[in-house]
């Protein structure tokens, strides 16, 4: 059954199809009136629906509420140092596919220049749409919460659960760092931007209760480090493997 994201506030007995969703279902997926579509609201709720047509347009008629998606692994919160260009979009897409429940863009001393307020809002809106599409593609019923960019200090106050930060100059490897850690219900991962964290920032991160570790001898790009950290964490504690 094909899947479609619909915000919770728009779900009722009949769901009016927006133009872009209608094009996606009828033109891209080649569905027809009467075909079934699974609707998910990003909060874990799922619905079995049927495409119907009335005089005032196309709708999805809700047939039944499906079993909600249950969390099978620790909740992963990703703090990602702001990246340049398309890299941030790529990280949000892949982190969503890998099961992140929250993604926080973090402003550090080596991040891209601060954005104007309107441009920042536009970027966040775009990142949230990317997360919705990635959740649909990867068969998730939940969409990660994408917060607006925040300063490193604010993120450190927000972080909870098992806290791991990745720094290429850390003295301890990931495998060694987690050897004696029993993960909490929430695991917070913090990855720096291009250029990594400064010494001062690394000190602040440690003082905030994070375990600093590295991913091996290779120097990875920031986006590669995120993908590696997410994958290993899900393999060890989550639903991969």
Average pLDDT, the chain: 90
- For the cut 60, the answer to whether the pLDDT of residue 125 exceeds it is yes
Phi, psi torsion values for 203, nearest 5 degrees: -65, -45
Q: Is the pLDDT of residue 156 over 70?
A: yes
**Interatomic CA distance for residues 166 and 63, integer angstroms:** 47
Domain around 7:
2-66
Domain holding 230: CATH number?
Answer: 3.40.1280.10
Q: Is there a single domain that holds both residue 104 and residue 27?
A: no
7 and 61 housed in the same domain? yes
pLDDT surpassing 70 at residue 118: no
| Domain boundary, last residue among 28, 48, 66 | 66
Looking up tokens 């003295």 gives 171
CATH code of the domain containing 24: 2.40.240.20
Mean pLDDT of 69-78: 79
**pLDDT confidence bin for 43, thresholds 50/70/90:** confident
Tokens of 111: 């991040």
| Same domain assignment for residues 157 and 44 | no
If asked whether residues 117 and 208 sit together in one domain, one would say yes
Distance CA 225, CA 163 (A): 16
Give the pLDDT confidence score for residue 117 in this predicted structure: 60
CA distance 73 to 95: 15
Same domain, 46 and 95: no
Q: Are 60 and 93 in a shared domain?
A: no
């Amino acid at each position: 059954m094909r899947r479609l994201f619909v915000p919770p506030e728009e779900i009722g007995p009949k769901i009016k199809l927006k133009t872009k969703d209608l094009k996606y279902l009828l033109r891209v997926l080649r569905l027809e009136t009467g075909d079934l579509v699974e609707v998910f609201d990003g909060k874990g709720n799922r619905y079995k629906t049927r495409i119907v047509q009335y005089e005032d347009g196309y709708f999805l008629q809700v047939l039944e509420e499906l079993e909600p998606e249950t969390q099978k692994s620790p909740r992963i919160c990703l703090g990602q140092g702001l990246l340049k260009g398309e890299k941030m979009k790529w990280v949000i897409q892949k982190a969503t596919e890998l099961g992140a429940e929250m993604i926080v863009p973090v402003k550090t001393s080596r991040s891209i220049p601060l954005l104007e307020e309107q441009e920042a809002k536009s970027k966040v809106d775009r990142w949230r749409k990317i997360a919705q599409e990635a959740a649909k593609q990867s068969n998730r019923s939940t969409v990660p919460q994408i917060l607006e960019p925040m300063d490193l200090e604010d993120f450190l106050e927000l972080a909870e659960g098992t806290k791991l930060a990745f720094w290429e100059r850390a003295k301890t490897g990931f495998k060694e760092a987690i050897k004696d850690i029993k993960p909490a219900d929430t695991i917070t991962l913090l990855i720096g931007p291009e250029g990594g964290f400064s010494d001062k920032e690394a000190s602040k991160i440690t003082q905030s209760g994070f375990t600093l570790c590295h991913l091996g001898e290779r120097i990875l790009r920031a986006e590669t480090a995120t993908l590696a950290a997410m994958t290993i964490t899900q393999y060890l504690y989550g639903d991969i493997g």
